[in-house]
Amino acid sequence: MTFDSRVFQQVPRLLFGSGATGRLRELVPAAGGWYLYIVDSTLESTAIIDRLPTRGEDRTEWFPAVDHEPSTVQVDEIRDRVAASSNGLPMAIVGVGGGSTMDVAKAVSVMLTNPGSSSEYQGWDLVQQPGVFKIGVPTLSGSGAEASRTAVLMGPDQKFGINSDHSMFNALVLDSGLICGVPADQRFYSGMDCFIHCVESLQGSMINELARSFAIQGLDLCMKVFMDDGTDDDLMTASFMGGVSIVNSEVGICHALSYGLSMELGFRHGFANCVAFRVLDEYYGEWVETFRRMLERHGIDLPEGCCLGLTDEALDRMVQMTLRMDRPLTNALGPRWRDHLTTERILDLYSRM
């Protein structure tokens, strides 16, 4: 099968616009039942919560996205609590937060209808049963998790996605009113995740014209937001378009390296991508130059020598993590990527971060 002939995927129902969150229930095809809201606990004390159209029978799970990247253990715990409820399965699951919380909502949705631990589904197309109807409500833009078919989780020994048609959201609310309070540095790091998605998807081989158009438009909007006077609507749209482009193509070398940084150093995804992208001139040339200008314009100082204190064992785990990223590396460097991206080459790149 060529990549051109894959089924093009995108979330089928979507509400767009500042204030749209209040209309969330219009997206659910059936009336009745109760809704499970999985909400980033950072938002607990904000006005965002008052905008959610919750009803008496609904439940809220506060997810501590601030602590670290989400894990399979956390997903299993939420699933167990919900499954133990006497109300039966929820009619809808609503994930409200950044990529971490949205991925948890996606994973909980499929784990309520499939047996075992979520760690057993990290991989490609391992989920058998459709999940509970799920709605994504981003409160932070860039990850593209709202648009993608993966739920990225830290498992027992790897950071990996549950990649499945069943882990895509059934509906989205893109309400730019929810991202206006994001701290500037976090807005930048997550926004750069989107910029890097678009670059990696455009520079790779697993792309068709339709996905390319999403990536080009996502990139243009990132330039407008981070180098000019773009709005929160622009940023929210860029994140979605970058997400659609990677679902229908692939990421590349930066993501393959950044997973190792997140695993061993606990770096958040957007930040880890920034640290990795900065040393990838050889692969993404002019885009790395543009990225440096964005860093400067936003007064962001990335740390140097991040990997210098790591043990050989830790570095080896990072290399192994990178080498597992076959699809992104095939996308970026072709099927013979191992001839170029040797252990020594990966260690050299990490040593320059």
- Per CB under 6 A, residues contacting ligand NAD are 40, 42, 65-66, 69-70, 97-101, 103, 139-140, 142-145, 148, 150-152, 179, 181-182, 186, 190, 193, 268-270
How far apart are CB 29 and ligand NAD at their closest, in Å?
24
- Least distance to ligand NAD, CB of residue 223, Å: 19
Residue 268 interacting partner from ligand NAD, Zn ion, none (CB closer than 5 to 8 Å by kind): ligand NAD
Q: Which does 307 bind (CB under 5 to 8 A by kind): ligand NAD, Zn ion, none?
A: none
Q: How far is CA 259 from the centre of its chain?
A: 12
Q: From the list 40, 58, 103, 193, which residue makes contact with Zn ion (rule: CB under 5 A)?
A: 193
Nearer to ligand NAD, 91 or 164 (CB): 164
Give the SS3 label for residue 171.
Answer: strand
Q: Is residue 233 near Zn ion by the rule CB under 5 A?
A: no
Query: Tokens in use for 192?
Result: 């750069």
Contact yes or no for 240/179 (Cβ under 8 A): no
The least distance separating ligand NAD from the CB of residue 187, rounded to whole angstroms, comes to 9
Least Å from the CB of residue 277 to Zn ion: 11
Phi-psi region of 19 (alpha: psi -120 to 50; beta: other; left: phi over 0): left
Pick the piece of the chain touching Zn ion (CB under 5 A) from 34-42, 152-160, 188-196, 341-349: 188-196
Taking the C-alpha atoms of residue 26 and residue 298, their distance in angstroms, rounded to an integer, is 38
Q: Taking the CA atoms of the chain, what radius of gyration do you get in angstroms?
A: 19
Alpha carbon of residue 138 to chain centroid: 11
Distances, alpha carbon 271 to alpha carbons 111, 132, 237, in Å:
29, 32, 21
Q: Please provide the DSSP assignment of 210-255 as one string.
A: HHHHHHHHHHHHHHHHHHS---HHHHHHHHHHHHHHHHTS---HHH
Q: State which residue, 161 or 230, has the beta carbon closest to Zn ion.
A: 161
Residue 250 and residue 329: Cα distance in Å, rounded? 9
Q: Which does 69 bind (CB under 5 to 8 A by kind): Zn ion, ligand NAD, none?
A: ligand NAD
Pairing of strands 150-154, 159-163: antiparallel
In the complex, what is the shortest distance from the CB of residue 142 to ligand NAD, in angstroms, rounded to a whole number?
5
Q: 247 vs 315, which CB is nearer to ligand NAD? A: 247
User: Residue 203's binding partner, choosing from ligand NAD, Zn ion, none, with beta-carbon cut-off 5 to 8 A by kind?
Assistant: none
Given ligand NAD, Zn ion, none, residue 172, with its beta carbon under 5 to 8 Å by kind, binds none
* Min CB(255)–Zn ion separation in Å: 6
Question: Interface with Zn ion by CB under 5 A: which residues?
Answer: 193
